[in-house]
């Protein structure tokens, strides 16, 4: 059963990743190209002395990349790049596909643990609810604090700090979601409105605290077009929306079929519906409405 | 649509625990795709550059 769910999760994740890659290729790549064009126009090629650029040093982008030039050789987007632009665009599908595979596998195991213990009683609904919660925790919460940036935005020297802060806010999002679910379960005897408010509070208090307490990152070069930044960020968020929507539907459908098959073969043996693990949960009519 | 209404039973924790070793492996894949800059993969900038557009568009910090 767990193995079947894991395999379905890997497949659903891979497929959803490729679908999201298709969205990102169509709606995101043009903005990546525009940003790289700006980056190359602003930065002199690495083999020329910094400052010989015709654009002058009054452009903040040129300043930023000029400062970073000595240790920036690993990240040229030009002809001397380690990976050419066409290969990077193919790599997009590899990246989103592998991301989906990894996320789908972890999701399936978490789902197997939640199943029958927390959330909606049926697999399809639980998959959709869990995918929505995961999207909120892993994408939305980080995006509000540290939104996606196109190339040419972000100081290469701070990548380790920014990555660490990003991991921290992802963990905060996951922890806050867990706190919200636990709070809702604790308030299970209360009426639904109290339960929803308790869950929202359990989620929002740690998330808003993290948004306020974690240091901000403001590395957008002064001359960078605001429209391009906005459109890139919307395309990036859209990529994640497409991924989680596709994954939720695919995995929900797959897990539904797994449980239907499982039920068909084992239903006579596991007939008693009241097991010790489900006794603390609210009665099913409330959760399925 | 049967599963949308059929209640499902919990899977016992000992059966789940058997599959825990898969989690670090899957997280390693996610790390290599999203965050590695050569320290773990030992490919220098290659893996980072290959995953470059995906990192940017998935919203992960990149260079």
Ranges under pLDDT 70 in chain A: 44-80, 267-289
Tell the residue number behind the tokens 């919460």, with chain if given.
Answer: A141
pLDDT of residue A284: 44
Q: Which two tokens stand for residue A186?
A: 């604790």
Question: Which sequence spans correspond to the domains of chain B?
Answer: 20-57
- In chain A, which residues have their Cβ closer than 8 Å to the Cβ of B4? 122, 124-125, 256
pLDDT of residue A264: 83
Q: What is the DSSP string of A61-123?
A: HHHHHHHHGGG-GGG--STT-SS-HHHHHHHHHHHHHHHHHHHHHHHHHHHHHHTTTSS-SSH
Q: How many CB pairs under 8 A join A and B?
A: 195
Question: Which sequence spans correspond to the domains of chain A?
Answer: 1-37+84-153+225-263, 154-219
pTM for this prediction: 0.82
Is the Cβ of B23 closer than 8 Å to some Cβ of chain A?
Answer: yes
Is the Cβ of A149 closer than 8 Å to some Cβ of chain B?
Answer: yes
Contact A154 B56 (CB under 8 A): no
Roughly what angle, to the nearest 10 degrees, separates helices A85-114 and A2-23?
A: 150
Contact A82 B44 (CB under 8 A): yes
Roughly what angle, to the nearest 10 degrees, separates helices A123-135 and A85-114?
A: 130
Distance from CA of B21 to the nearest CA of A (A): 11
* Cα–Cα distance, B2 to A184 (Å, whole number): 27
* Cα–Cα distance, A129 to A118 (Å, whole number): 11
* Cα–Cα distance, A14 to B18 (Å, whole number): 23
Summarised one tens digit per residue, pLDDT across range B18-56 is 999 999 999 999 999 999 887 887 877 898 999 999 999
pLDDT of residue A45: 58
ipTM for the predicted complex: 0.91
* Cα–Cα distance, B44 to B35 (Å, whole number): 13
Is the Cβ of B16 closer than 8 Å to some Cβ of chain A?
Answer: yes
* Cα–Cα distance, A205 to A143 (Å, whole number): 17
Contact B61 A6 (CB under 8 A): no
pLDDT of residue B7: 63
């Amino acid at each position: 059963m767990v193995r079947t769910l894991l395999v379905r999760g890997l497949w659903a994740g891979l497929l959803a990743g490729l679908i999201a890659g298709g969205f990102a290729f169509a709606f995101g790549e043009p903005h990546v190209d525009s940003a790289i064009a700006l980056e190359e126009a602003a930065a002199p090629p690495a083999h020329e002395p910094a400052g010989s650029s015709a654009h002058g040093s009054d452009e903040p982008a040129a300043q930023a990349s000029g400062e970073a030039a000595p240790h920036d050789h690993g990240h040229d987007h030009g002809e001397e790049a380690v990976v050419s632009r066409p290969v990077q665009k193919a790599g997009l599908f590899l990246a989103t596909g592998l991301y989906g595979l990894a996320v789908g596998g972890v999701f399936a195991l978490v789902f197997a643990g939640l199943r029958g213990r927390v959330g909606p009683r049926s697999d399809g609904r639980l998959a959709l609810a869990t995918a929505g919660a995961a999207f909120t925790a892993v994408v939305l919460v980080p995006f509000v604090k540290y939104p996606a940036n196109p190339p040419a935005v972000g100081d290469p020297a701070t990548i380790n700090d920014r990555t660490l802060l990003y991991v921290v806010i992802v963990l905060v999002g996951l922890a806050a979601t867990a706190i919200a679910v636990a709070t809702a379960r604790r308030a299970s005897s209360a009426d639904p409105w109290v339960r929803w408010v308790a869950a929202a509070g359990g989620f929002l208090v740690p998330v808003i605290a993290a948004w306020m307490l974690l240091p901000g990152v403001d590395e957008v070069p002064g001359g960078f077009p605001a429209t391009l930044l906005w459109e890139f960020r919307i395309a990036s968020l859209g990529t994640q929306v497409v991924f989680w929507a596709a994954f939720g539907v695919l995995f929900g459908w797959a897990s539904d079929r797994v449980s239907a098959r499982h039920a068909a073969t084992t239903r006579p043996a596991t007939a008693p519906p009241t097991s010790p693990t489900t006794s603390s949960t609210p009665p099913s009519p409330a959760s399925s409405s | 649509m049967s599963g949308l209404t059929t209640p499902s039973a919990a899977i016992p924790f000992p059966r789940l625990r058997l599959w825990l070793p898969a989690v670090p492996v899957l997280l390693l894949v996610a790390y290599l795709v999203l965050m590695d800059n050569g320290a773990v993969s030992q490919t220098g900038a290659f893996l980072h550059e290959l995953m470059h557009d995906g990192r940017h568009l998935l919203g992960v910090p990149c260079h």
